Chains A and B, each alone.
Chain A
Amino acid sequence: MLSYSLKRLGLAVAIVSVAMLLLFAMIYLIPGDPAAVALGPRATEAMREALRIKMGLDQPVWIQFWNFFINAWQGDLGNEVLSNRPVAKVVMEQLPSTLALIVGGMAWSIALGIPLGCWTAVKRGGMADRIVGVFSVAVIAVPSFVVAIYALLIFSVSLRWLPAIGAGEPGDIGDQLVHLILPSLAVGLGWVGYIARMVRASMLEVLEAPHIRTARAFGLPDRQITYRYALTIAILPTVTLLGVGIGQMLSSAVFAEIVFARPGVGKLVYDAILTRNYPLVTGAVLVTTVLFILINLIADLVVGYLDPRVRSRL
């Protein structure tokens, strides 16, 4: 398990490095002079030249990349344009709120998706199976910003059950959780459908496996066969899928944060793009990328923990 974890960690570091290279290439290839953009139209050529030297833009491209690379690994993502505060600090301030949103979305999709998938697999062909099937396809098809807007209209505006905007009083966990319910539902609802379908399909496959027949032939109770013998295997592809799904949840988070006026990295990037605050955009994208890779790393480790065959193969 240890060597498996180390190998996975090494791979993650390599992927982050490649992501940095791509991100750097992207910034580099954007037409226009970053110094001119940063200083605005009324700056003089001398001021621009001074900033270019300060930003290292006069250096050869590979040195620029090297500096970017080394600084980024040390947590220095440069300063943002408007207030000149360190980008890393600004992004980190917003990160907890986005993380809460994504963890909330995952919680919805796991807490509803896995039982629904399991239940419909056991009761396949029945009424419940068909209803859940239609429901799953429906929520997969509806974009998350539509869910966000309707959730807001129904539960906040009409029913007044839940707060409409903001992230809740700082320091008041209960209030923050109440504010999290609707946005996280908007982020996670589509994934309820995905996971329900995915778990159902792999459960059906696993329930046909010879070892399940063996378990039945030994007279093990149905509950134990479903949850201990079948679900622990059927869950594995879903864990991997969830890791990948984080990417989509991150993009849904942008909409959820805008609709519900929540602070967060998505809202930050949105505002930064509108104000052409490029260092902030790249910094936020890099942090999100690392987050994505980190969550996939965790998903891989969870699969390795659950599946001894994977553990020994690596």
Chain B
Amino acid sequence: MNVLGIRNLNVTFGTEGGPLRALRNVSFDVPRHRIVGVVGESGCGKSTLINAILGLLADNGQVESGQILFEERDLTQMDSLEMQAMRGSRISTVFQDPMGALNPVISVGKQMLHIQYRSDLGRTEKNARSVEMLRRVRIPDPKSALSRYPHEFSGGMKQRIAIAMAMMMEPVLLIADEPTTALDATLEVATIELLQELQAQIGCSVLFISHHLGVIAELCDDVVVMYAGEVVERGTTRQIFHDPLHPYTERLLRCDPAGQSTRTRHLPTIPGEIPDLRDPPKGCIFADRCDRRETICETAPPEVEMGGHRACCHRVKP
């Protein structure tokens, strides 16, 4: 059973240089109780994907075609009020920047109170719930934390408060957009463990976005590899890390200097540049940077599937 199913999703941004096709035919699933990682260089469309799911695309962005099935309902067909009802209650989000993610002039307790606005509980019970959530993410002295403001907490604590807020309404799907990228390595480990622990307790599915392979390998059950707005490969974490099919995935793994099992804070770098998404190549999207390019790569590659492991590359033979 899938909690989330993305089907042939196309998202376009209107820009001065013409329509920018930020997501092209993106498809993948997030099964119940599983953690799915989305990995790719920055600019490959990870945040666009999240915003499309949440119905929060920028004014110039639009879902051109495709479906976003959440619990069997297509989110792309919902009006803004229906989407608002989904956000925060069924689908929760933790964003990258813990410094700016909380409102600076409203106390933590008030913000946690506000997001419980749909609940029938009284004010005292809601505050008690907030304290309980803060305790679960190990904020010291959670009661007094309610009356404090975000700037009074460290970056790591702010990110834990953000996680507490996201988990408080017991969502079916938690989306995490690079939640550890701004943290140092020790805090990163702690945050990952906290996410794992809460996910197990609440029993939600997680869509985890990162460009950090070590974190993905450790946390995720399934992996989706994105390149320039397309899904180039997807499969279980084991399949992706031990038996990568797509040259881009191979290069990503090779560029990770310390290997897949150790952490690195550096972005994977591959020679060459991401193609201009206002005029993407007709054939394989990765061909320009691929060291095993052939003439056939000027035509669009088919998606090949082997035991749930899928890749879009002419070289992969079923």
Contact = CB atoms under 8 A, between A and B. Distances in A.
A229 to B, nearest CB: 5
B105 A306 contact: yes
Given A211-B101, A211-B103, A217 B117 contact: no
A210 B115 contact: no
Interface in B108-131: 114-115, 117-118
B153 to A, nearest CB: 12
Contact of B105 (A213, A215, A308): A308
B92 A210 contact: no
Interface string A200-222: 00000000011101111111111
A309 B162 CA distance: 19
A159 to B, nearest CB: 43
A233 B92 contact: no
Nearest to B97: A210
Please report whether the interface of chain B is mostly helix, strand, loop or mixed according to DSSP: loop
Interface residues of A, number: 23
A209 B101 CA distance: 8
B56 A219 contact: no
B104 A219 contact: no
Contacts, number: 76
Interface of B: 54, 56, 84-89, 92-93, 95, 97, 100-107, 114-115, 117-118, 149, 151-152, 162, 165
Given A211-B104, A219-B118, A307-B105, 15 more contacts: A210-B95, A210-B100, A211-B101, A213-B95, A214-B103, A217-B93, A217-B95, A218-B114, A219-B84, A229-B103, A233-B104, A233-B105, A307-B104, A308-B151, A312-B151
30 contacts: A210-B100, A210-B101, A211-B100, A211-B102, A211-B103, A213-B95, A214-B93, A214-B95, A214-B103, A214-B162, A215-B103, A216-B56, A217-B88, A218-B87, A218-B93, A219-B85, A219-B115, A220-B115, A220-B117, A228-B106, A228-B114, A229-B103, A229-B106, A233-B103, A307-B104, A308-B105, A309-B104, A309-B149, A312-B151, A312-B152
